[in-house]
């Protein structure tokens, strides 16, 4: 009997707990018992001690918690920026009242170096925008309020097609057919033929004349050929690019030296090994990896090109590592992600790093850390068909290599005129630090390594 009584008491307690847990958004009740005696019952009162049969004292405690409501309103703050970035401009992708799914981009924050996307933490509806479009924000600034709905917004179902119109009822009595016309017995007269030439046009050339759109009342209609202009605010990235390039012109004593590279051997090597390279590494073999590796080889041979002047302390900082910035053009502006420790990479490692950074740049997913640093820059204007150009130094670096398009040109080879695929290359350097001898030697080192990649293997 004692065991049966205890089981019944515990059964009642579990039943009440389960009934409380079944309530979705209502209050959850959890009961905790501090003591159970042999033959005494349980009385569920308001958190107090009960004396049953004057032999035992029971303490009934209730822990009440509120379930997370689906319509909670949360405030989303600006994510933390990198140390070199203090503020950014907000550009809204959504408006008040728009429904968003979890991780859907609500706004972008344009900084000096990149754009930071701010996603929705959960599915819901935009309650309020706390910062105007184009407003400046810092890390931790409240951006918008989101009312959670607990699920992604359902797509609107297409409207059902209207039912077909009902068939008309048959007429009770059909109208009698008209009387047949008399059959003609003579040919109709032939019209006279015009002696003027006929101006024929194809049917596709005959188009209906469009009626001119009526201008709104009180608005002047622009005349044909009128010249107009409009203004667009520069984004922060474009402003920063303009500022840095002008600083480079004002600070560095820039000088450019040129050379040309015969691309015959590297093109033949690529044609022979591109398929096995793709099969093994799942990457396309391009020319950029050869130039990046050749630049790292030349930077180790001429370490002054890899150095930089510290204008604050008036010292020359020599770097024992090679981090090469690769310029990538994006719709928002020019970005220069960094391939780090190139001196320890082979062609496959370089191609993989460039591919990953390029994909992140095109998807606007570059982080500040991807573009910080860099000891040397390579800019490839040849992808746009550039024949010749003088690149501008990317401060605080001391030199930049400009690649250009490959064109077949007649050149003298062994006393004979031959047509070879040639590329012009340009090295712009800071003449305050780098003399002409080091600059020309550096560029010739790149020329030798690209024209004959065996130079890299033999360390010549």
Phi-psi category of 230—alpha, beta or left, where left has phi over 0 and alpha has psi -120 to 50?
beta
Residue 33 has pLDDT above 60, yes or no: no
Range from 215-219, 281-285, 340-344, 373-377 carrying the lowest mean pLDDT = 215-219
Residue 185 has pLDDT above 90, yes or no: no
CA distance 44 to 63: 13
The residue annotated as part of the active site, out of 372, 435, 452, 459, is 435
103 classed as catalytic: no
CA distance 74 to 269: 58
Long-range contacts of 163-166 (CB under 8 A, 24+ apart): none
> Is the alpha carbon torsion for 345, 349, 355, 357 positive or negative?
negative
The residue among 134 and 10 whose pLDDT is bigger is 134
3-state secondary structure of 422: strand
CB 387 within 8 A of CB 409: no
Q: Is residue 56 classed exposed, middle or buried when 0-12, 13-18 and 19+ CB atoms within 10 A define those classes?
A: middle
Q: Are strands 136-137 and 308-310 parallel, antiparallel or unpaired?
A: unpaired
The residue annotated as part of the active site, out of 103, 431, 452, 459, is 431
pLDDT band at 14 (very low <50, low <70, confident <90, very high): low
431 classed as catalytic: yes
Structure tokens of 114? 């990149």
**pLDDT tens string 398-439:** 999 999 999 999 999 989 999 999 999 999 999 999 999 999
Average pLDDT over residues 49-61: 47
């Amino acid at each position: 009997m004692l065991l049966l009584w205890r089981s019944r008491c515990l059964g009642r307690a579990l039943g009440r707990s389960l009934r409380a847990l079944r309530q979705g958004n209502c209050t959850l009740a959890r009961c905790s018992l501090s003591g159970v005696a042999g033959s005494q019952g349980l009385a569920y009162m308001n958190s107090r001690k009960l004396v049953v049969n004057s032999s035992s004292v029971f303490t009934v405690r209730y822990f009440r918690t509120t379930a997370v409501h689906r319509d909670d309103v949360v405030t989303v703050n600006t994510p933390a920026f990198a140390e070199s970035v203090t503020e950014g401009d907000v550009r809204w992708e959504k408006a008040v009242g728009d429904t968003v799914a979890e991780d859907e981009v609500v706004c972008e924050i344009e900084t000096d170096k990149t754009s930071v996307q701010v996603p929705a933490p959960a599915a819901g509806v935009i309650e309020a925008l706390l910062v105007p479009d184009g407003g400046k924000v810092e890390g931790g600034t409240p951006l918008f309020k989101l009312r959670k709905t607990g699920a992604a917004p359902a797509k609107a179902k297409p409207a059902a097609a209207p039912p077909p119109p009902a068939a008309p009822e048959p007429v009770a009595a059909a109208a009698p057919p008209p009387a047949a016309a008399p059959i003609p017995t003579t040919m109709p007269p032939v019209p006279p033929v015009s002696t003027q030439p006929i101006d024929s046009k194809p049917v596709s050339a005959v188009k209906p004349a469009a009626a001119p759109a009526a201008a709104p009342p009180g608005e002047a209609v622009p005349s044909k050929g009128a010249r107009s202009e409009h203004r667009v605010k520069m984004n922060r990235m474009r402003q920063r690019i303009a500022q840095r390039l002008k600083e480079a012109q004002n600070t560095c004593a820039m000088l450019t030296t040129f050379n040309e590279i015969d691309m015959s051997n590297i093109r033949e090597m690529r044609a022979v090994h591109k398929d096995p390279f793709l099969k093994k590494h799942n990457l396309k073999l391009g020319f950029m990896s050869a130039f990046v590796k050749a630049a790292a080889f030349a930077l180790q041979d001429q370490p002054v090109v890899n150095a930089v002047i510290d204008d604050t302390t008036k010292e020359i900082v020599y770097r024992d590592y090679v981090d090469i910035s690769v310029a990538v053009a994006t719709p928002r502006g020019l970005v220069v992600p960094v391939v780090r420790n190139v001196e320890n990479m082979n062609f496959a490692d370089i191609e993989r790093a460039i591919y990953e950074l390029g994909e992140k740049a095109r998807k606007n997913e570059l982080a500040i850390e991807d573009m910080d640093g860099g000891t040397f820059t390579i800019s490839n204007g040849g992808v746009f068909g550039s024949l010749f150009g003088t690149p501008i130094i990317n401060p605080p670096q001391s030199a930049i290599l400009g690649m250009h398009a490959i064109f077949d040109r007649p050149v003298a080879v062994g006393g004979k005129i031959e047509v070879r695929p040639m590329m012009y290359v340009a090295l712009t350097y800071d003449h305050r630090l780098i003399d002409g001898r080091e600059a020309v030697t550096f560029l010739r080192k790149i020329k030798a390594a690209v024209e004959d990649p065996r130079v890299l293997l033999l360390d010549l």
